[in-house]
Amino acid sequence: MNPTEELIRKFYTAFANADAKTMSECYHPQIHFIDPAFGLLKGEQVSKMWEMLLSKSKGNIKIEFSDIKADEFSGSARWVATYIFSKTNRQVVNRISAEFLFQDGLIIKHTDNFDVWKWAKQAFGITGYLLGWTGFFQDKIKKQALLSLKKYEKSKQTF
């Protein structure tokens, strides 16, 4: 396994162990993260997002990863998150395809792709089934995710 494949393995192992600090250490300071739920996040926002998600899961998240492939410039992996969606108390099994770009031996760009409609059906039940495919509903999911992140960041500020 080459160094960038090891880096991806380190990231997901830390995720599976609810270790947000080690996850953050895998990222370049100018990290860009993109996914359907949050859209584009940059820098510290990315680490705070993982902290928040792990905090909200209260240790009840299962992370499995596979198919790690990488060279010195780019890489990919597949991962599955199984958890209880806190807003509805419904179980979600989210299958995600991840792509990475590397700089200075760290992840500088991380893109997660998943089927939002499948996620919404699990997270929101019949409402997600009926509306989860619409741009309106997906925008609402993104706005709520970003609002949750802002509230979390504000709660973690030290003065």
> What CATH number did the domain enclosing 10 receive?
3.10.450.50
pLDDT for position 158:
61
Number of domains observed in the structure of the chain = 1
Q: Are strands 27-35 and 90-103 parallel, antiparallel or unpaired?
A: unpaired
* Residue numbers of the domain that contains 144: 3-156
Q: Indicate the burial class of 53 (C-beta count within 10 angstroms; 0-12, 13-18, 19 or more).
A: buried
Q: Could you tell me how far CA 94 lies from the centroid of its own chain?
A: 10
pLDDT digits (tens, 9 = 90+) for 79-98: 999 999 988 999 999 999 99
pLDDT at position 30, please?
97
CA max distance for the chain: 46
Instruction: Give 30-84 pLDDT, tens digit per residue.
Output: 999 999 999 999 999 999 999 999 998 887 899 999 999 999 999 999 999 999 9
- At 20, list the tokens: 């947000």
Q: Residue 1: is its pLDDT beyond 90? A: no
pLDDT of residue 31: 98
In the prediction, which pLDDT does 120 show?
95
pTM value is 0.91
pLDDT in tens, 114-153: 999 999 999 999 999 999 899 889 999 999 999 999 999 8
